[in-house]
Amino acid sequence: MDDIVKAALKKWPNVPHCYGWLALDARGDWYLRDDSIQAAGPFPQVKGDRIHHLKFKEFIQRNYDRDERGAWFFQNGPQRVYVQLEAAPLVLGVRRLNEAGEGGFEVTTHTGQVVQHVSASWLDEMGRLFLATDLGLGLVRSLDMDVAADALEAGLWGEPQEELFARLPERFHYSLTPQP
């Protein structure tokens, strides 16, 4: 967490939490959802305004965390902004470390963190691949599924188990739509 955020929390410790205004989709993109967007429909059917500003995205990603309830949030100075999730708290990118296919694979989160360990893998009823990592549960981006399939074929993450998507939040202790 940024030092400026820590200082703001000390200065203003009782700022109300914010719900419904920030969302993370299955590709790792952040969306702002103002009152009119929220009234237009639920996330992800109505996404809102995609955040394009690089510095703002980086600020969100550095200050993204979860609470004891499994609800993920962005600590925006003294205000905790809870995040609606399309699929999982982390969106994972997978790449080959060597284009020749030798040397293994690297998994990174949408926040730029490098995953050190993948302990298991699951496929949901839509064919989406989820990985249990040392940083938490993540959904592999659809654009990286070809590389992820190679890693699975190499036996790196075990045989993927089948799991209903609706069971993943409870199993991995996270909330798709945090509530007050």
Q: What is the pLDDT of residues 28-62, one digit of tens each?
A: 999 999 999 999 999 999 999 999 999 999 999 99
Check if 3-85 and 90-171 are the same fold. Answer: no
Taking a C-beta distance cutoff of 8 angstroms, is the pair 122, 129 a contact?
A: yes
The 10 Å Cβ neighbour count of residue 22 is: 23
Q: Are 84 and 33 in contact (CB under 8 A)?
A: yes
Q: Is the dihedral of CA 24, 86, 140, 136 positive or negative?
A: positive
In whole angstroms, give the CA distance from residue 50 to residue 33: 9
* Phi/psi of residue 59, nearest 5 degrees: -65, -45
Architecture (CATH level 2) of domain 90-171? Roll (2.30)
Which tokens belong to 37?
């967007």
- Spatial neighbors of 14 by CB under 8 A, at least 6 apart, are none
Q: What is the pLDDT of residue 101?
A: 52
Ordered by start, the domain boundaries in the chain are: 3-85, 90-171
b/e per residue, 107-134, with b = 16+ CB within 10 A?
A: bbbbbeeebeebeebbebeeebbbbbbe
Per-residue model confidence as pLDDT tens for the chain (180 residues): 778 767 766 766 677 899 999 999 999 999 999 999 999 999 999 999 999 999 999 999 999 999 999 999 999 888 899 999 999 999 999 998 876 555 689 999 999 999 999 999 999 999 999 999 999 999 999 999 999 999 999 999 999 999 999 999 999 999 999 999
Give me the phi and psi of 66, to 5 degrees please. -130, 155
Q: Tell me, what's the pLDDT at 99?
A: 62
**CB of 5 within 8 A of CB of 75?**
yes
Q: Which of 21, 130, 163 is nearest to 79 (CA)?
A: 21
**CATH 3.10.540 given to domain 3-85:** yes
